[in-house]
Amino acid sequence: MFKKIIWGIIGGTLWGILFYGTLAGLFIGINQNLFTIISALFMGILWCTIISMIWKSLMGRKDESNKNYIIAGIIGGFFIGSIIGGLMLAILNRDANFGKAYILGAFLGGSFGFVWSLFKPPMFLGGVRIWGKSGAILGSIWGSFFGTIIGIVATVSILFWSQANIDISASNLPQLLIAALIFGSGNGAIGGIISGIIFGGLIMTPPLPLALELIGIRGAIVGAIWGSFLTAIALGIIGGILSITIGDDLFLNLGISGQVTLLKGVIVGTGIGSIWGIISGAVWGAFGRW
């Protein structure tokens, strides 16, 4: 178990740095020099696709399709290209946000890897519907996932539909979107978990779409659902603690102004955790990292 936890933290930290470095690179490129980031993406995708096909010819089976290797090359090139392009622009313009993204990514990734290594998705099989204690647990897992998606869609829709009362411009749009995504996903995940516990425990809930081998598409689906719940709970607790110990300064960079209360810290942490859990869980689940 100790070895599994260590590898989970290491793998999660690397994934967090890669993911947040990519996001930072894209944001820096879009805001500072769009041509540079597009060129870096193109070159990254081109070279990673070529390397992937070379790997297939040397290590892959002869009857194996090229499709998976091409997709892997495109995805890998997108990550690498955005990181390299963003890093070049950050160094040239002395932008410290790239370093902050690395630190945040390492923290969230390490937290995700630690929590992920401790738990496995509940293997509740046998029966089309499940209720009682098992149903409440499964209902909360489903509720976190669907609540996150519904909360994001609803909050972003309200943001643009009520734009007459909100000053939306090109300069503050990214900040408003980040705040809307975090608060929408946080409220949705919390509401979904509570609703899932009630409905799943009393009325019944469907089991997770488990397969004999949790890898590929099915693994990604289960990973996204399970990761949303797990990381929302973990970072919700962390967000509540940080709101008390650090306070307003931490949340200003997320586009969240005003006094930070315990409830707001929990919502922010849950929102970040649920979004991060869906994306990271889908990636890890697709590769069978259970």
Give 10-residue mean pLDDT values along the chain (290 residues). Answer: 77 80 78 80 89 81 74 85 83 74 78 74 58 80 88 79 60 70 86 86 76 69 85 83 66 57 80 86 73
Q: Are residues 135 and 29 in the same domain?
A: no
What is residue 125's predicted lDDT score, i.e. its pLDDT?
Answer: 46
Q: What is the pLDDT of residue 76?
A: 84
Picking from 78, 101, 81, the residue whose alpha carbon sits closest to that of residue 21 is 101
Residues 166 and 262 in one domain: yes
pLDDT at position 288 is 67
Q: Are residues 89 and 199 in the same domain?
A: no
Residues 150 and 95 in one domain: no
Distance set, CA 228 to CA 96, 138, 144, 210 (Å) = 30, 13, 6, 16
Smallest CA-to-CA distance from 280 within 160, 133, 155, 108 is with: 108
Task: Tell me, yes or no, whether 167 and 90 share the same domain.
Answer: no
Query: Interhelix angle for 34-59 vs 67-93, to 10°?
Result: 140
CA torsion angle 141 142 145 150 (round to 10): -140
The pTM of the full predicted model, rounded to 2 decimals, is: 0.68
**Helix (H/G/I), strand (E/B), else coil: 121:** coil
140 & 246 share domain: yes
One domain for residues 163 and 288: yes
Domain count, the chain: 2
The greatest distance separating any two alpha carbons of the chain, rounded to the nearest whole angstrom, comes to 61
Is residue 181 located within the same domain as residue 285?
yes
159 and 60, same domain (yes or no): no
- To the nearest 10°, the Cα dihedral for 126, 131, 133, 136? 110
Task: Say yes or no: 66 and 84 in one domain.
Answer: yes
Burial of 255 (0-12, 13-18, 19+ CB in 10 A): middle
Cβ pair 151, 187 in contact under 8 A: yes
Q: What is the pLDDT of residue 155?
A: 81
Note down the domain range covering 53: 1-118
The torsion region of residue 259 among left (phi > 0), alpha (psi -120 to 50) and beta comes to beta
